[in-house]
Chain A
Amino acid sequence: MSFAKLSVSALAMTVAATAASARDQVQVAGSSTVLPYAAIVAEAFGENFDFPTPVVESGGSSAGLKKFCEGLGEGTIDVANASRKIKDSEIKACAENGVTDIIEVQIGYDGIVFASDINGESFEFTPEDWFLALSDKVAVDGALVDNPNKTWADVNANFPAQPLAAFVPGTKHGTREVFEDKVILAGCEATGAFDLFKAANGDDKKAAEKACIALRTDGVSVDIDGDYTETLARIESNKDGIGVFGLAFYENNTDKLQVATMSGVTPSTESIASGEYPVSRPLFFYVKKAHIGVIPGLQEYAEFFVSEEIAGPDGPLAEYGLVADPELEATQELVASQNTLGM
């Protein structure tokens, strides 16, 4: 009876399920910003080594580090990609689950750029402009008032009278944090609003910072919770919009977008590497030391990732938009010697 056969094979599968085979490929998870770089490395690694191509999951820095800290063993991931440094609370959570020896590897820098439609006006921004355009409250004659600005000309007399419309990354993105920190907060301090916020909050610096980065909610600033492709689509439908992108995304779409300068510097891999362009952040990946030697290819993958031919200024990662780390050699030594955090 075929029915019996079906049941038996179903049973056989559940039995097989308990005897899972050993894992022979590296598993990576984490930041969606690091994902394209990790995918490029994984692909080249699979082509040139005898190890299978690593599996790379996205999902965000926090989700990746959470998975990373779930414990040791084949059922857990080996590498977590992150677009920010691991937090002390995450190191603690890791330690509680037995993940104590973590190798931190900095792979380079990611630039955050401001871009608008290729056929529209071009802009030369400063952090002050963005603060005045997007902040919930701004300083007018020494008092805090609701943001009255409607067009870019209101913000800065040198700009055209183009309606304000900005597409900024949603709060779940690591990019948002950098945007708030290096642009909005910097603008807040430069326009003098920071001191007013501080005075209003009884000299509390933390509260003033929080008040600074509160963006207006009247529809001028739109949070994009999706990825940069959504930001691009929004700009295509609203030509007045200005979006916040990663440098790599812009480099891949230079026929549709034009980039704005920030404090007089045009973003490029060179200007970010030299530190001239202000809005950038380091990118990392974290390796479980306990998995090296257990999961085949893990050490080789880490070394390959930071090798000169991959992460160097002429490598495929730089070509895609990663800003090469000038300290790459030190990183290579760190990976080779498997130096863990806190050592």
Chain B
Amino acid sequence: MTAPSTAASTSIMVADARTLKRNAAEKRFRAYGLAAIFAGLLALVLLVGSILNNGASAFKQTFIQIDVTLPESKLDKSGVRDPEVMKKATTVTYAPLLRDGLMAKLDELGVTDIEKKEVGNMISKEAAAQLRNHVLANPNLIGQTIPFEVLANGRIDGFFKGRVDFASAELDKNVSPAQLNAALALEDAGSLETRFNLGFLTAPDASDQRPEAAGLGVAILGSLYMMGVVLLLALPIGVTASIYLEEFAPTNRWTDLIEVNISNLAAVPSIVFGILGLAIFINFAGLPQSAPIVGGLVLTLMTLPTIIIATRASLKSVPPSIRDAALGVGASKMQAVFHHVLPLAAPGILTGTIIGLAQALGETAPLLLIGMVAFVREYPAGPPEGLFDPATALPVQIYNWTQRADPAFVERASGAIIILLLFLIVMNAIAVMLRRRFERRW
């Protein structure tokens, strides 16, 4: 039986039609895969790019150096330098001093075609409060002329960041070309500079009139406090529950029911936990509004299912031979779990916990109902009392800033997103690192 035509097609050197088709299908699939990855990457690059583009400038701020004269006649009529008496002079008294200081400086530089009110508006409204606090802390400065560094108004700051230009200043009610000219003259004289602003990370929020002074201090503290509460509560409760369910509990209808409910709980929308928190922790238990302790408790409830599911998965992945060996040499069940199984499952548990925490860190919805979406300027005290003081959280601060009218808050909201992303990247990197370093494969 000879058939030369078929012999040629069965040669392993020459691919037949079906092989060609299969190879082509494989190539196509690889191309699809690559395309999918590139599409994802592109979306990520666009997202991060636009945030960085909008937000990078939030870390810089424009400052003006002013020589301020502090007349006794206005600040301390009594002349006794008693801070308690001097408190009567409010920020309304201090603001004109700064304005006059800047006015004198501009005169020196030969900038004269600018109105008094415009000069005053070049300085942040926060500056008067800073000067007042400085003077109250150092009463002996009264009567002297001191150099004082103040924040420039948000629009002046925007000019040096490219958000404001002469054309838009012409139309803008809140800034004039004369002010921009004055700012340029100050920059030439070295009295004005745009540089890194630590205040963005440490200062509290500021009202709508002073975007230049708004910072993330209270929000970062609030987020840290909440994460602390979540870690302290969710980790022990979650791990204990999973160990019991995985190692000790009998398999029956009840444990099945619990298992289904835990999986269900993991999928419940987070706002539901907020409603629960309001009803139980605030209305029933009488905990204070806007406090990180309540936020932490609510987020604990939200994070628990994530931790339980991750912990159970990592306990399951420890091979039964380890348990059997431990029991075989006479260990009790508890010893077998705590001495052998738990250490081997620890990397998985920690990874699950960190991912749960990262999820909780970015949560806004449940905080809305417990009063943490608020304007808070006072730093909470140190823990544990500080847990009961009002605070906000990072995602809440972003949400608040995007609602403000002044365009300078757009930049600050993007800056806050960068900080939040940095926190998340660090946490997830730690999770990956722990898994790489300590995970054992069987």
**A interface, CB within 8 angstroms of B:** 3, 6-7, 9-10, 13, 16-18, 20-21, 23, 25, 27, 29, 32, 35-36, 38-40, 42-44, 46-48, 50, 52-53, 55-59, 70, 74-75, 77, 118, 227-229, 248-249, 251-255, 309, 316, 319-320
Contacts and interface: CB of A to CB of B under 8 A. Distances in A.
Contact of A320 (B132, B208, B287): B208
B206 A43 contact: yes
B375 interface: yes
Interface in B255-292: 282-283, 285-290
A57 B378 contact: no
- Listed from nearest, the 8 A-B pairs whose CB atoms lie closest are A53-B377, A255-B172, A56-B375, A39-B207, A252-B405, A57-B374, A36-B208, A47-B129
Nearest to A248: B405
A77 B378 CA distance: 17
Interface of B: 87, 90-92, 125, 129, 132, 164, 168-169, 171-174, 206-210, 229, 232-233, 235-237, 282-283, 285-290, 293, 297, 368, 371, 373-378, 384-385, 387-388, 390, 402-407
B290 A6 contact: no
Nearest to A36: B208
> In the complex, which of the residues A48, A118, A227 has the most CB atoms of chain B within 10 Å of its own CB atom?
A48
B173 A254 contact: yes
Nearest to A70: B283
B348 to A, nearest CB: 17
Nearest to B173: A254
Contact of A13 (B285, B373, B384): B384
A interface secondary structure, majority: helix
20 contacts: A7-B236, A10-B233, A16-B387, A20-B388, A29-B371, A36-B208, A40-B207, A40-B208, A42-B375, A43-B210, A53-B376, A53-B377, A57-B373, A58-B374, A59-B368, A118-B171, A229-B404, A249-B405, A253-B405, A255-B171
B288 A23 contact: yes
Contacts of A228: 405
Contacts of A36: 207-208, 404-405
Contacts of A16: 384, 387
A20 B288 CA distance: 7
A246 to B, nearest CB: 8
A43 B206 CA distance: 7
A75 B232 contact: no
Nearest to A227: B403
B236 A254 contact: no
Contact of B285 (A18, A52, A77): A18
A248 B208 CA distance: 11
Contacts of B371: 27, 29, 55, 57
A13 B233 contact: yes
Contacts of B174: 251-252, 254
> In the complex, which of the residues B207, B229, B236 has the most CB atoms of chain A within 10 Å of its own CB atom?
B207
A47 B374 CA distance: 18
> In the complex, which of the residues B288, B374, B375 has the most CB atoms of chain A within 10 Å of its own CB atom?
B375
A252 B406 contact: yes
Given A16-B384, A43-B206, A229-B402, A58 B373 contact: yes
Given A16-B384, A35-B375, A309 B92 contact: yes
Given A47-B129, A255-B172, A20 B378 contact: no
Contacts of B403: 32, 58, 227, 229
